[in-house]
Structure 1
Amino acid sequence: MPSSPMSKLGRYEILEELGKGAMGVVYLARDPLIGRLVALKTFRAGFSPQDQELEQFRSRFMREAQSAGILSHPNIVTIHDIVDEAESGVCFIAMEYVRGSNLKLLLQQPEPLPFEFVVSIVSQVGDALDYAHSRGVIHRDVKPANILITAENKVKITDFGIARLGSSNLTMEGQLLGTPNYMSPEQIQGREVDHRADIFSLGVVLYEMLIRRKPFQGENLTVVTHRIVHEPFAPPGEILQRLPQGLGAVLARALEKDPARRYPAASALAADLQRLVRAPLPAAAGPAEPDDDTAATQEIPRPEEETPAPARGIGPALRRLFGRMRSPRGLLVTALAGLLLVAAVGLGLFLSGDRAPAAPVAPPAPAGTAVASEVTRRLDAARRLLQQGDPTAALGEVVAAEHLRGDDPVVRQVRHEVEEAIQAQRRTATLASRIAGGLAAAREALERGRPSEAKIAAEAVLALAPDQEEASQLLADAERRLALESERRRAARAVPPAPTPAPAVPTATVVAVVTPTPPPPPVAREGTLSIDFFTEVPEGVLTVYADDRQIVREQFRFSKRTGFLRSEKQPGTLHYDKQLPSGRLVLRIYVAVPGQPTRAVSVEGEIAGGGRQALRIRVSPDGATTAELH
């Protein structure tokens, strides 16, 4: 085992260096508290916070831990610990140590992957993604290098470094995050992204596992991204003839340009693939004529047993791959090839051929009346589960009915209803999360004596749910407190009238000629507030209150085009001139920056009638806001 110049990192004992890249090193380490082996993924020590590019990488690095840290699933690599010491520059994640390889390395082997093995990978990745999506986490970078496969054919997905929590907006217009070959059209175009972007990426991975090439290729990034957004993928039957019938339709739905027409969940994609595994075998003779929808021909021959043997053809590839990992040198080479969670040697089950079996083949379907009865029973169960609010379980019943009679219009209609229910359930969960966050923000603002912030948060909730009772109460409370504050300020500004002098007692009669004086010019009752706003954060919302009156609210995005379908964020400025009543007032400034809490900045000053005051607002790269009144 190669020696390492570092013996400890935090409390962890360094055992071996597994891989090294531009941004850091991956170590095999031991947690002395419980004796557990972990993989330590480190960020390069000694970076300067002024280096914006490195700081962006560090932020992505920490988001990986924060995103994956809330997830606990057998098909997701577990995050055990996170250390971020800004003073010393030490930054690392302690994560589950997986013995195995990744799908990218496996695809470099010459043997084709059996269809049952491909379906198993998609099913396990789909389970992990559906779980993450249900927790509001979108992976955004599903690709073979991030799919780990253990010696027992257990699949784990890793690298949530650009994942996005559904309740926050960590991405900005024009920011190209992800691996371009596996990105969805909406990611490339910088549009709003939801869980269906991961389903598109999983469809690309499925295509590559079967065809050994990507569905959208080109000589450079511009061509690749253009084809993903605008052009159809090459039908698989035109490239490889020995594929299951119906696979083209599955790929077409997974790779839809329009997210609304894709599979609503990764489990639905996996279910359709399982149906192809269990479908009757086509004739093994020459290639069939491709139809317009699928362009698919023949299915790969399968074993005849009810429970098939382990997938054939995978053993030699994995034996070679894991064979290179027997020595520490081979392990390091594999790590340098791109495995973030590089694993140790684990050959026992592969060399003995004792691998996890592929999905079992369903028994032959009953005929005639029995088939109709079973289809009816499955559809009734699906409808019952829908009424009980469990559309995911209902989808399983519909898939079972499709295995028996997939061309039945009633089955298709029920499937449509189930998919609509799944989409509605996801929308409801997202809405509930946003409402709960807004209510919590409004309550906290009131508790801290910030009624203006509470008013903004409550109004945002009511924009989502106009009948939300608690939001209405919080808004009324905030407006009542703002009115009291405004009344107190008006009372403080009020000037008492001058006393009326007592009438003078005449002592003598005086005759004089009095020249009338001209009346004084009218006093101006308003002044001008000139607002100059400069921000180094390119996206957000600016809101300004003068006492209890909102005078500015504007959403801003600053970027410049740098190439085809790409733009670069940049600082920006805004300017406003506002007429305000003369007198003393309090200005409150709110700058909402994606991914950061919104805090008020307050300044007080005097607006002179007919005069001009300047309010200068500045936002630094880290989102800190300052304001000065001159």
Structure 2
Amino acid sequence: MNFASGSADSFFCPGYNGAVSHERIGRYEILDTLGKGAMGVVYLARDPIIDRRVALKTLRLDLDPDLVEEFRERFFREAKAAGRLNHPGIVTIHDVGECPDTGLVYIAMEYIKGQDLKKMLGPDRRIHPAEGARIVAEVALALDYAHNLGVVHRDIKPANIILTTDGSPKVMDFGIARLESSNLTIDGQFIGTPNFMSPEQIMGQSVDGRSDLFSLGVVLFNLLTGTRPFPGANMHEVTLKIAKEACPIPSTIVPGLPAAFNPIILKCLEKEPERRFQTGADLAEVLGALARALMPRSEDDVGRTAISQVDAPKAEPETKSGVLKTIDRLKEIPLPSWIHWHVEGRWAGAVIAACVFVILVATVVLGLMIDRGPWPAPSGEAVLGRHWTVKTYFQAQDALAHGDVLAAETACLQALHQAPASPGGRALAAKIRRALEAEETILNNSNRVAVLVGEGRDFYRQEQYRSAVERFKEALEIDAGHELAASYLELASERLKETTRRRASRNVPATRTKPASTTQPTRVRPQAVPTPGLVRIQLRFDSPLNSGHLTVMLDGESLEEVPFDFSRKGLLGIRRKGTGTVKRTLIAPSGRHVVTIRLSSPQLKALAETSFDENLRAGSLWSLKTDMSSEKATPSFSLHRVE
């Protein structure tokens, strides 16, 4: 996005004209339109109270009502989180509110003249390596500040980094990114692109600051090479590459790019967060040093890089080589006492002559034994073969490190064919074999879990709940995080309890009196002894709510607690709102009772409650129904006898 006056931008997805007939939103006077898209519009506005220009971001109102409510909640929550940030590298949030006249939700942000990195890039346009290192280092420092306050951006990309007129980068939409990177669908379209997402974002896992550093590594790769590390023809191909494939080496894409960038970018783009830079400060320190090394500076040049470092004192030039210094130190080492021996003068000549003779004989013998050649030079084919073998071993190690076990196995076998006695090659082959066995175990477990869940679902549909519970439990013993098995286990366990209670209620024996005497000629008709009976209450709620809590009480005591949650996982593991039906069959004692039903929010805040004073006859069936036409409607309850 570009906050420059009068410029349209790609900050939002295109497709919404965003026209507003009002000259004000809240207290802000609208001056111009800066950008528009599927989520809303950004205006250039003026705060008349302090006469300050701001960028006013609004949320459009013509979306699906459920989406509007969800976006609105996130809009406020994330804006408040971003409002805590006060850093020169982050666009400041001034205000957040809702216009009483139009109902528009807005965020007032710092208005900045500049250009975002996305507009500075292109297929044949790249940034100078030193400048790219400086920009990303400053962004890393801004991210480190936010991460220390517990705020994660979640949508770092070139379009969200703006360069001011003096070349300083600022991160935009900080904290609001969670709203727009949630990748909800509108009219079947996918909002945003996953090109800059981390693997944990792609797989819907929890993220922390290291996810932002992965995205920043993609940005750095993009700035230096003009391409993306994980390109693809469609979203599926891109996400698969991010999750599974290794990043290409940047210096192989752009000839002349300093190779010092390779380990930095590859470390940023590690699949596992534990193997990346752990803080933005760590990344900034490395890139800042590289930027200073690559950028020529004069004595008067104070530089623009916002990363300060105290220069280390220069060492005095060495006047002697390392070898001479070593010799000097060796001379200072005292010799052992047994080396100091004395030779009498009369034997000195004989000893010297004997030593010289021995040396001459040894020299002659060694001279005869030495092969003076000519020695054949190794063939070019042999040299290339050894080079190819070593290179193939390195390829196998890299493939194994990046999780591509099959490619690692292929490369290792090729290298072992050339050098079968290599200890390093054999050790690598053993490591690859263990990795293959682990993958095979994971695959077998996955297949077994799929079979168990399938059998459990079949038993569940056939109302064989005990067998279903056994299958789902066995599946969870193999994969404790399998959500489908866990959900079905909960449902099957509830149905099993209901079935058990129902059978118990049918088997209550009727007590009969024995005849007064067996000698009486006429039989006495047995009289029923009054015993407490049971009634069934069918609970039903066609819920427009995504989640909540139903509580049924009998004479003030809890009879049944029914939590419900109809949300479901959508694309990339993101949870979507849903609706559904709550159905339960409750067993209660007969007699006159006060039946109370309460509908609560997920946080157990009561939404509505009603009590019924009824005489529940033994063996009767009752219907306890909750009616609610929409999410905003007032719930109503009814209790009537069915049979």
Say whether residues 1:231 and 2:240 are aligned partners. Answer: no
The answer to whether 1:32 aligns with 2:48 is: yes
Specify the alignment match of 2:103 in structure 1.
89
Give 5+ residue unaligned stretches, structure 2: 7-19, 319-521
In structure 2, the partner of 1:313 is none
Q: Which amino acid aligns with 1:604?
A: S
Q: Which residue of 2 aligns with 1:604?
A: 611
After superposition, residues 35-46 of structure 1 pair within 5 angstroms as: 35-44=51-60
Instruction: Give, in angstroms, the shift of residue 225 of structure 1.
Output: 1.2
The answer to whether the Cα contact below 8 Å between 1:615 and 1:627 also exists between their aligned partners in 2 is no
Aligned residues of 1:143 and 1:202 also touching (Cα < 8 A) = yes
State whether structure 2 residue 602 is matched by structure 1 residue 592. yes
Q: Compared with structure 1, are the counterparts of its residues 6 and 578 closer, same or farther at alpha carbon in structure 2 (3 Å cutoff)?
A: closer
1:73-112 aligned at under 5 Å gives the runs 73-85=87-99, 88-108=102-122, 112=126
Amino acid of the structure 2 residue aligned with 1:602 = E
The counterpart of 2:295, out of the listed 302, 307, 310, is 302
SS of the residue corresponding to residue 140 of structure 1 reads coil
User: What is the CA deviation profile of residues 314-360 of structure 1, one whole-angstrom value per residue up to 9, with x for unaligned ones?
Assistant: xxxxxxxxxxxxxxxxxxxxxxxxxxxxxxxxxxxxxxxxx567766
Which of 123, 136, 143 is matched with 2:150 structurally?
136
The percentage of aligned residue pairs carrying the same residue is: 38
CA 1:549 to 1:202, structure 2 compared with 1: closer, same or farther past 3 Å? farther
State whether residues 607 and 613 of structure 1, in contact with CA within 8 Å, keep that contact through their aligned partners in structure 2: no
Q: Distance in 2 between matches of 1:573 and 1:213?
A: 49
Question: Which secondary structure does the structure 1 equivalent of 2:585 belong to?
Answer: strand
1:614 aligns with 2:623: yes
Match of 1:528 in 2: 536
Match of 2:203 in 1: 189
Shift in alpha-carbon separation, 1:567–1:527, aligned structure 2, 3 A: same
Which residue of structure 2 aligns with residue 498 of structure 1? none
Rounded Cα–Cα distance in structure 2 between residues aligned with 1:115 and 1:136 = 31
CA contact (8 A) 1:38 1:94 kept: yes
2: distance between equivalents of 1:109 and 1:89? 42
- Indicate the residue corresponding to 2:588 in structure 1: 580
Q: Match of 1:15, SS?
A: strand
The residue type paired with residue 602 of structure 2 is: A
- Whether the 8 Å contact between 1:64 and 1:159 is mirrored in structure 2 is no
The Cα of 1:197 is off from its aligned counterpart by 2.3
What SS class does the counterpart of residue 252 from structure 1 fall into?
Answer: helix
Q: Which amino acid aligns with 2:47?
A: D
1:196-595 alignment runs, 5 A limit: 196-277=210-291, 301-303=294-296, 310=303, 362-363=311-312, 366=315, 518-520=526-528, 522-538=530-546, 540=547, 542=549, 544=551, 546=553, 547=556, 549=558, 551-552=560-561, 556-559=565-568, 570-582=578-590, 583-592=593-602
> Secondary structure at the residue paired with 1:27?
strand
In the alignment, the residues of structure 1 paired with residue 531 and residue 184 of structure 2 have an alpha-carbon distance, to the nearest angstrom, of 48
Question: How much has 1:216 moved relative to structure 2?
Answer: 0.9
Flag structure 1 segments of 5+ consecutive residues without an equivalent: 282-300, 311-354, 370-513
Structure 2 vs 1, CA of residues 558 and 90 (structure 1 numbering), >3 Å: closer, same or farther?
closer
Q: State the alpha-carbon separation in 1 of the partners of residues 77 and 285 from structure 2.
A: 31
Summarize the Cα distance change of 1:89–1:179 in structure 2 as closer, same or farther, 3 Å threshold. same
Task: Give the structure with higher Rg (CA).
Answer: 2
Distance 1:112 1:245 in 2: 16
Provide, for residues 342-393 of structure 1, a one-character-per-residue CA deviation record: whole Å limited to 9, x for no partner: xxxxxxxxxxxxx567766844775999xxxxxxxxxxxxxxxxxxxxxxxx
CA RMSD in angstroms comes to 4.3
Are the aligned partners of 2:598 and 2:606 in contact in 1 as well (CA < 8 Å)?
no
Matches of 1:150 and 1:584, distance apart in 2:
69
Aligned 8 A contact 2:551 2:561 in 1:
yes
Distance verdict in 2 for CA 1:569–1:94, change over 3 Å? closer
The one-character-per-residue Cα deviations of 1:51-94 (angstroms, maximum 9, x if unpaired) are: 55566665665555334233333222222223313663344332
1:119 aligns with 2:129: no
Q: Is the contact between residue 251 and residue 258 of structure 2 (CA under 8 Å) also seen in structure 1?
A: no
**Equivalent pairs, count:** 409
Judged with a 3 Å threshold, the aligned counterparts in structure 2 of structure 1 residues 128 and 364 are, in CA distance, closer, same or farther, namely: same
Check whether the contact 2:134–2:287 (CA below 8 A) recurs between aligned residues. no
